[in-house]
């Protein structure tokens, strides 16, 4: 039995470039990549921030696995769940719940994958700032294309996905 390797070296270039200038925003400065995007002063429609809350925010993944792939994050860089305050923890998971419902409304998906990569060894490229991935899925979707052809099939642009999710978002009060 041999061990095959699937290299995703394009992510290294993306991360390096984003650390220098996230989304071309010129945010520079200090903090994690996500803190710099959040505090860049660039319009949310450009950074694809879907929602801002008191302690957490939601942003579309710039290199999504499928259309609508978003992330829920605390506003401050926290690498592990046990670093969250009670307020951040409560808002994070309430926002994940709302994100899943918003994706279901916006994309009429059949399912949603929800997950975290905690720590560098878990595979996350931004292990200094925990983030919960919410990925819409459909029966018969084309996710095999990434492995089989090194290609992602994304029928909806980031701008359209941002508009759909944002308009489908229901605030709980």
Positions marked active-site: 131
Runs of H (alpha helix) within the chain = 10-20, 33-38, 44-47, 86-107, 144-149, 158-168
Residues 6+ apart with CB under 8 A from 97: none
Residue 127 sits at the vertex; the CA angle it makes with 65 and 121, to the nearest 5 degrees, is 85
CA distance 45 to 70: 14
Find the angle CA(123)-CA(128)-CA(131) to the nearest 5 degrees: 70
Residues in the chain: 173
- The answer to whether the beta carbons of residues 98 and 169 sit under 8 Å apart is yes
The three-point CA angle 86-135-169 to 5° equals 65
Q: Kindly state the DSSP code that residue 54 receives in the 8-state scheme.
A: S
């Amino acid at each position: 039995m041999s061990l095959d390797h699937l290299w995703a070296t394009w992510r290294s270039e993306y991360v390096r470039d984003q650390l220098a200038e996230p989304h071309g925003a010129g945010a520079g400065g200090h903090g994690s990549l996500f803190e710099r995007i959040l505090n860049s002063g660039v319009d949310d429609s450009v950074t694809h921030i879907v929602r801002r809350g008191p302690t957490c925010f939601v942003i579309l993944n710039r290199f999504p696995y499928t259309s609508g792939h978003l992330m829920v994050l605390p506003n401050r860089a926290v690498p592990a769940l046990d670093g969250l305050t009670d307020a951040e923890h409560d808002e994070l998971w309430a926002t994940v719940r709302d994100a899943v419902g918003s994706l279901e409304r916006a994309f009429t998906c059949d399912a949603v994958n929800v997950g975290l990569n905690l720590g560098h060894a878990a595979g996350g490229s931004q292990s200094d700032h925990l983030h919960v991935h919410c990925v819409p899925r459909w029966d018969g979707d084309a996710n095999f294309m990434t492995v089989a052809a090194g290609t992602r099939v994304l029928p909806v642009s980031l701008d359209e996905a941002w508009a759909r999710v944002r308009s489908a978002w229901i605030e709980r009060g």
